[in-house]
Amino acid sequence: AQRVTQPEKLLSVFKGAPVELKCNYSYSGSPELFWYVQYSRQRLQLLLRHISRESIKGFTADLNKGETSFHLKKPFAQEEDSAMYYCALSTYNQGGKLIFGQGTELSVKP
């Protein structure tokens, strides 16, 4: 079965601390993984995807096929990083639908 798991509902850190939001997936094919972010009162938007291998707003994520993980990391959290983060898997051959994890709320305290 296709599934995305984010084990933490809430992650609270202090400004300047490192952040790691965990994501594990279950998929029999070659997955395409994404991180989407939803800031307060804003719409869901793409943060990054594994194919592009880029760093956005200081965040990076590496696809580990052996551990079936796609954890999101940032070395020094900022208050403006506080948001809801969703890991998602794309089933490209089924209309490109996204399967989302449950989401992790990141709270960065001053």
Does 102 sit near another protein (CB under 8 A)?
yes
Strands 97-100 and 83-91: antiparallel
Query: Going by C-beta distance under 8 Å and a sequence separation of 6 or more, which residues neighbour residue 61?
Result: 23, 33, 35, 48, 50, 70, 71, 72, 73
Residue number, 19 or 37, with CB nearest to another protein: 37
Residue whose structure tokens are 């793409």: 46
Does 45 sit near another protein (CB under 8 A)?
yes
Rounded least distance, CB 83 to another protein, Å: 14
Q: Candidates 14, 39, 76, 92: give the one binding another protein (CB under 8 A).
A: 92
Q: Determine the interface stretch with another protein among 21-29, 54-62, 71-79, 89-97 (rule: CB under 8 A).
A: 89-97
Q: How far apart are CA 86 and CA 109, in angstroms?
A: 20
- Interactions with another protein, residue window 47-86 (CB under 8 A): 49, 51, 86
